[in-house]
A and B are shown apart, each in its own frame.
Chain A
């Protein structure tokens, strides 16, 4: 952290950005004041619609068309950017003031090779030949750890993974050793391990070069682990500015207090007697997808077994490609499993006759990731909930209306607004509506498939609270599929960790989060950014990181699936297929070395 009297680098005063909407000006940024000192890492926290991204761009004097900067000053190194000539501004951008954005692949031109773009950016700030620029692109890509940069410079944006594209952008942004790096949600959409790796690299590079960072984010974990100071943006203004630790201990503004409420009041998991009959039981679930035109198969799910008791919530975590989503779909027979047994209250789902399928469906529901996709845009809220009522109940019209009102009330939506179309609602309210629809049939079990991934922090807090309340009041059981570990920690009683279609570890939430045993679980949880500013990740070098990339689910390794990336790998691991067996601490783990006590467990704070 820089000393409090370090010289000012950026000073924003009374910034106002307007967009013409139907002949009126709306002002998403309305009187923003902000300062950043040299070498300081400032987190800009704000909800969806708070104007974070608009603010980040405006710091470079940029506005997305057709918007305009209406008033204010953006003083950078003493000069007001908004009064600078276009050429003067251009010379600063990309040199002293660099930007990385949310959607790295979108920030790259889809029709030009990345090398050409990096070279163009380089040549924008100094006379270099096209050949020198090209060479520079290769060097930069090599510096950020991209394999085979000579080949990669010829790739197009769509041929890069999100993580790789983001690394290419950061190589570009940092190549000029900018005084200030503005990073607008640079890791949204990346898997946790890649996110942590990326943020670590960014923090390390910036420390080396002495740049300052404005890190725009919605993620408290990122703030807690990487930022010196937090500023909170709300309705276009900064409503709070505090050192990170103070912010977590004593948030001032109502918005800050709300988003922090979960961090400050951790959930208490329910306890279950061991002998309760399971509600859902899955045994050796396997799902293959065949690839068109080839005789190979994708092993999406590879022998998964677990049980969920009534009123229990099981978290299924893992990164993209782990098969967790497919498991959820198999459970409701939205996709047909290749093999394996799924039982609901002891009855095999595969044996359910079409006539009974409807009753079965009414007891098992699913809520999807994208609340917009799942709703028919022409339906009113009332129509949305009436649909399942028509199908699964024989209530009369008045009864249905009353039930719709009750359900809306239950999920915290105003029943008086049932005649409105949900289009204007935010993602949080839409997701509540989806829950209300799922509840209409009186289910016992809901599969929640990444339900929080599009929610803003505030909506997420409310949504998590809703899930906890419904679980307690209605005795619902959940299968909670998510890569959002913070939410999982708050909602789930037990957690299963998946890697490449297999469960590698199952335990209570506390066990898995506090003492992950399997090397993959250790890496995953180690990359989880806990919103705890007392144990900052930047202060302790991470140890459990995995090497390399996830193998293709088409050509799986013969032995342990993690062998190519595991720090504890031995020759035996590479040839011995691993099985899930009971660990001494009383939970199943799929690693012979952990089971034999040869690998230290834990490692996450």
Chain B
């Protein structure tokens, strides 16, 4: 039963991805831009232009290009269906390889940020709801005013200013590792995991040190909406009959709080999923400030360069990850709430 639901969701996901790929394929070609001219400079000769167009394959009819991209035209070479996302026009490397380098950086960054944000924000939201008007509640209010009022890159810069420039606790915002250090041998692509696998603790701690500020910035930004959501859902759960009844049955405060939290977390899942999907691309400003070569940076670079295969690849991969995250959260939701599992 459960397996069937998962398989169905995955099948639907694949169809969605295909549809999106085709849509993006046409949309980027509607951009008022000429990718060829970026290769040949201003006022190229006709022959040079034609050669460049041929090199990146845009001289072919659009339908041929699409079929080739999807992998439905074997004569043209491998495509999506064969697991080939094409070659980046800028880096000349396979898009898949580019993404495999950039994506782990972002995933590492935002996953860490999410875990820490949840660890901090959920109890705070709970406390604020349990004691409305109390100290936590007031502090949350003030924090909400601050955090929401400035964009994240501003906070990022402020953090750099305070913690690197003034206090000197943090490293300079120049990437993931100390330039003196070499990256760990790639196995999973995730530097932290790879360094641990290699048993290289120096690099591992260096990584954490470099991730400190970007993660802190994201935690600072993410905690706001998470606290608000937990608080709201908690408040609602606290007025529920079963919480009142648990009190009437003389259950200890901790049990009552657990009852309410359980009911409050279920509806929060969806929002956390959406937030995660959004941050995949939305962390780009933080990545820029700290010069982290993440997927957001890669996406922006590809768009500015009209690097069609790269844009396609990024959209596809980010959407795929979002869909998987939604699916996982829905499964978790169903485990928490048996009423959903039944349907």
Tell me which of B240, B248, B338 contacts A57 (CB under 8 A): B248
Given A57-B244, A101-B241, A120-B255, do A90 and B250 touch, yes or no (CB 8 Å)? yes
Taking each of B132, B248, B336, B338, which has the highest tally of chain A beta carbons within 10 Å of its own beta carbon? B248
The minimal Cβ–Cβ distance linking A391 to chain B, given in whole angstroms, is: 40
B248 contact set on A, CB distance < 8 A: 57, 60, 62, 93-94, 98-99, 101
- Please pick, from B132, B239, B241, B252, the residue contacting A90 in the complex, using a CB distance under 8 A: B252
- Residues in A with CB closer than 8 Å to B253 are 86, 90
A125 within 8 A of B: yes
Contact call B339/A158, Cβ cutoff below 8 A: yes
CB-CB under 8 A from A93, the residues of chain B are 247-250
Q: Is A106 a contact partner of B241 (Cβ separation < 8 A)?
A: yes
Contact with A along B251-282 (1 / 0, CB 8 A): 11101000100110010000000000000000
Known contacts A60-B248, A93-B248: A124-B255 contact under CB 8 Å: yes
Most B Cβ at <10 Å: residue of A66, A86, A107, A172? A107
Cβ contacts under 8 Å, B337 to chain A: 110-111
Flag if B240 contacts A106 (CB, 8 Å): yes
Number of chain B interface residues as a range: 20 to 34
CB atoms of A94 and B241 under 8 A apart: no
| Nearest B residue to A65, CB-CB | B239
User: If A110-B337, A111-B266 touch, does A101 touch B252 (CB 8 Å cutoff)?
Assistant: no
The interface centre, meaning the residue of B240, B246, B259 with most chain A CB atoms within 10 A of its CB, is: B246
B244 adjacent to A62 (CB under 8 Å): yes
A99 to B245, CA, bound (A): 8
Residues 97-121 of chain A, each 1 if its beta carbon lies under 8 Å from chain B, else 0: 0110101001111111000010011
Q: A93-B249, A111-B262, A111-B336 are in contact. Are A65 and B242 (CB under 8 A)?
A: no
Q: Once bound together, how far apart are the Cα atoms of A501 and B244, in whole Å? A: 40
Cα distance, A164 to B240, chains bound together (Å): 20
Q: In the complex, what distance in Å separates the CA atom of A99 from the CA atom of B252?
A: 16
Give Cα A117–Cα B247 distance, bound, in whole angstroms.
12
**Which residues of chain A are within 8 angstroms of B241 by Cβ–Cβ distance?**
101, 103, 106-107
Is B213 on the interface with A (CB-CB < 8 A)? Answer: no
- The yes or no answer to A262 lying at the interface (CB within 8 A) is no
B residues near A121, Cβ cutoff 8 Å: 246, 249-251
CB distance from B244 to the nearest CB of A (A): 6
B338 → A minimal CB distance (Å): 5
A124 to B258, CA, bound (A): 14
B238 within 8 A of A: yes
List the A residue with the shortest CB-CB distance to B242: A109
Q: Which residue of chain B is the closest to A122 with respect to CB atoms? A: B249
Instruction: Indicate if A64 sits at the interface (CB-CB under 8 A).
Output: yes
Is there a chain B Cβ closer than 8 Å to A146's Cβ? no
Q: How far is the CB of B44 from chain A (nearest CB, A)?
A: 65
Determine which of A65, A86, A99, A111 lies in contact with B263 in the assembled complex, contact meaning CB atoms within 8 Å.
A111
- Taking the closest CB of chain A, its distance from the CB of B102, in whole angstroms, is 39
Whether A156 is near chain B, meaning CB under 8 Å from some CB there, is yes
Q: Are A62 and B247 in contact (CB under 8 A)?
A: yes
CA distance A68 to B250 in the complex (A): 19
Query: Does A95 sit at the interface, judged by CB under 8 A?
Result: yes
Task: Output the nearest chain B residue to A66 by Cβ-Cβ distance.
Answer: B132
B249 touches A94 (CB 8 A): yes
Please name all residues of chain B whose beta carbon is closer than 8 Å to the beta carbon of A99 when the two chains form the complex. Answer: 245, 248-249
B130 to chain A, nearest CB (A): 10
Inter-chain contacts of A91 with B (CB < 8 A): 250
Does A82 belong to the interface (CB within 8 Å)?
no
B338 partner residues in chain A, CB cutoff 8 A: 110-111, 156, 158
What 3 pairs between A and B have smallest CB-CB spacing? Answer: A94-B250, A93-B250, A94-B249
Q: Can you name 29 A-B pairs with beta carbons within 8 Å?
A: A60-B248, A62-B244, A64-B244, A65-B238, A65-B239, A90-B250, A93-B247, A93-B250, A94-B249, A94-B250, A98-B249, A99-B248, A99-B249, A101-B241, A103-B241, A106-B242, A107-B244, A108-B242, A108-B245, A110-B263, A111-B266, A111-B338, A111-B339, A112-B259, A121-B250, A121-B251, A124-B251, A124-B252, A156-B339
B interface residue numbers (CB < 8 A to A): 132, 235, 238-242, 244-253, 255, 259, 262-263, 266, 336-339, 342
Extra A-B contacts (8), CB below 8 Å, given A90-B250, A93-B248, A111-B263: A93-B249, A106-B242, A109-B246, A109-B259, A111-B336, A120-B246, A121-B249, A125-B250
